[in-house]
Structure 1
């Protein structure tokens, strides 16, 4: 599936609230307009641009035309929007947080006196998700964590190729 960074609805000139029939109509219009068979007589650069558009439109339609893949895409897209909308005060490395073996939590004190908390389970889930990605798609792993008493948040990060979480209490 495409990364949420590419808005598949925008590729079709549609919106997430559009029905399947509306999406189909937009797809058909754009596919006809940019189909390789209609590119005869255009300059090589125009033909290449139209072909690229056709391929993007086709890829968007394949995802948005199927109910299950559309729901997955919409969830991924929404998660990305939420990440982008939440301002991060700073970035911390997981190894800079304090490990609480009794609670199986990583903690860090906020300047307000509150605490940022990341559970071992959260880190493990994120690492498992990263490991399912192709090696070239992997990035530095991380999660946004909110302070428990103010509006500040931090991005806690770790290297995706190494496991920093604790296997047993220290």
Structure 2
């Protein structure tokens, strides 16, 4: 799956990450018919050789995106790459304002689009280790993208121990 990190497989198929498997299959079939090597015949011109390369690229993209497990893995890798890139931050939230999901071991926060933001303890710890070398004034926190829209959130990294040990009386006041 190393070539998938170099090129966006969805764009190879002319598709979107939100497309269903049936939509991806339809795009693949259209492109496969257009670029299939059998259309070349016995002698291939340089243009037809390009078509063969294009077909191989399309076929490789379909092999990843057509399988539910490999598509999920690809989406996770793609999302991790997007999160590592510096981009505009739409808002910031303190870790204390997020909800801890014990079953999935992840902090979650609702987006205004109805989707959600999520960050794991491991991601928070990695960012904390990286921040030790940062200068004052640089952002302190983890950039997280919404799972449904293009909004990005900066999660201010507070001590996990302080988060667990803080108890409120329901009015927001610590007890």
TM-score in terms of structure 1 length: 0.52
1:168: which partner in 2?
Answer: none
2:7: which partner in 1?
Answer: 6
Alignment check: 8 A CA contact 1:110 1:116 kept: no
1:101: which partner in 2?
Answer: none
Query: How far is the alpha carbon of 1:42 from its aligned partner?
Result: 7.4
Query: How far is the alpha carbon of 1:5 from its aligned partner?
Result: 2.9
Alpha-carbon spacing, 1:54–1:109, altered in 2? closer, same or farther (3 Å)? closer
Runs (4+) off by over 6 Å: 114-117, 146-149
Deviation digits for residues 61-94 of structure 1, max 9, x if unmatched? 000011000000001111111112348xxxxxxx
Alpha-carbon spacing, 1:110–1:34, altered in 2? closer, same or farther (3 Å)? same
Alignment check: 8 A CA contact 1:116 1:147 kept: yes
TM-score in terms of structure 2 length: 0.50
| Partner SS, residue 40 of structure 1 | coil
- Unmatched tracts of structure 1, length 5 or more: 88-104, 118-145, 150-170
Alpha-carbon spacing, 1:82–1:37, altered in 2? closer, same or farther (3 Å)? same
Query: How far is the alpha carbon of 1:27 from its aligned partner?
Result: 0.5
Matches within 5 A, 1:1-170: 1=1, 2-40=3-41, 44-86=45-87, 107-108=132-133, 110-112=135-137
Query: How far is the alpha carbon of 1:8 from its aligned partner?
Result: 0.4
Alpha-carbon spacing, 1:42–1:33, altered in 2? closer, same or farther (3 Å)? farther
Query: How far is the alpha carbon of 1:40 from its aligned partner?
Result: 2.6
Looking at both structures, which has the greater relative contact order when contacts are Cα pairs under 8 Å and sequence separation is at least 6?
1
- Unmatched tracts of structure 2, length 5 or more: 89-128, 142-154, 159-175
Give the Cα separation in 2 of the matches to 1:63 and 1:48: 23
Alignment check: 8 A CA contact 1:34 1:54 kept: yes
Deviation digits for residues 20-48 of structure 1, max 9, x if unmatched? 01100110111111111111387521111
How many residue pairs match? The answer is 103
